[in-house]
Amino acid sequence: MNTALTERLIRFQHPEKALGYLGGLDDDRIAALYGLDAGSYRRVRQEHAEQARRAATELLDDPEFAEKVDRLPFAPEQRVVAVGESTTDDLLSWFEILRHVIDLRRPADGITLTNTAVSGHTTTQALTLLPGLSFHRPDWVLCMLGGNDAQRLGSVDGPTLVSVAETERNLRALRDLAAKRTAARWVWITPSPVDEARLAAYQPFQRAGLTWTNRDVDAIRQIVNAQPDLTVDSHPALARQTGEEFLLDDGIHLSLAGQQALTATVVDALSDKS
């Protein structure tokens, strides 16, 4: 693998989450999967962490944003858990940026952020991880799911990986079952829009016969927006893109700029409800 591909895989793919039943993978074993030694693997992860922290610092340079972070409803010592797929599992994700934002602005509060998102997961797969949610004893759950459900196989007219009806059932089941296991406050985040032209031109997706459409993503967005808990709609902010691209070359994953915009959207919504 070339360096760029290796760094991209480390950014989005985290075997220690997907293979948790193995009882934990140390850095040596994970690094070997990428053809690296443990030191090189840790350096790549550290570089991503530094990028996420710089993105947080840039956001906090805005006094209005910083004041909103002060008003986030997370109390000292509370636990915030993220549930989702690659948009959240990303080492440069909105949740990782939020982690640094809180650490930089409210270091004495002792707020714990745990990212349980797994790249590639559908809502069906997320249900299989639900038993482990209570282990983290969350006070808050931030859930961004559904984007992978909308994946179409073969062509834009092919079947979706998960039907819209099944997505709705899964999201409701996830929330209902979590409510029986924890007293956490729940926040939904809608899946982000895609760039259909980039998706169609991205060779790995072409070879695999995979694609997404905004029509399908929007159908799931409507389901999420209809939930009774607080919902953060990712679409307005990401649709107002100016300057730096909000999506990577594959047309589906958010760039660092897109993740920054989503972080700001999440903070706006939560601070307004504090």
In CATH, what number is assigned to the domain containing residue 263? Answer: 3.40.50.1110
CA distance 143 to 141: 6
Which is more confidently placed, 1 or 43? 43
Do residues 116 and 83 touch, judged by C-beta distance below 8 A? Answer: yes
Residue 154 lies in domain: 55-272
Domain assignment present for 23: no
Asked whether residue 201 is domain-assigned, the answer is yes
DSSP annotation of 38 reads: H
- Cα dihedral 249, 253, 255, 260, rounded to 10, equals 160
Do the domain assignments include residue 262?
Answer: yes
Q: Largest Cα–Cα distance in the chain? A: 52
For the chain, give the mean pLDDT. 94
Nearest to 94 by CA among 230, 250, 273, 232: 232
Cα–Cα nearest to 91, from 188, 5, 10: 10
Number of domains in the chain: 1
pLDDT tens-digit readout, 20-34: 766 778 899 899 989
Residue 25 maps to a domain: no
Residue of higher predicted confidence among 93 and 243: 93
Query: Is 193 a residue whose pLDDT tops 80?
Result: yes
**Is 209 part of any domain?**
yes
Q: Is residue 119 part of a domain?
A: yes
* Span 128-185, pLDDT tens digits: 988 889 999 999 999 999 999 999 999 889 999 999 999 999 999 999 999 999 999 9
Please state, in angstroms and as integers, the Cα–Cα distance from residue 135 to each residue in 2, 78, 168, following that order: 38, 14, 25
Three-state DSSP state, 219: helix
User: What is the arithmetic mean of pLDDT over 185-201?
Assistant: 96
Is pTM beyond 0.85? Reply is: yes
pLDDT band at residue 241 under the 50/70/90 scheme: low
Q: Is residue 11 part of a domain?
A: no
Q: Is residue 39 part of a domain?
A: no
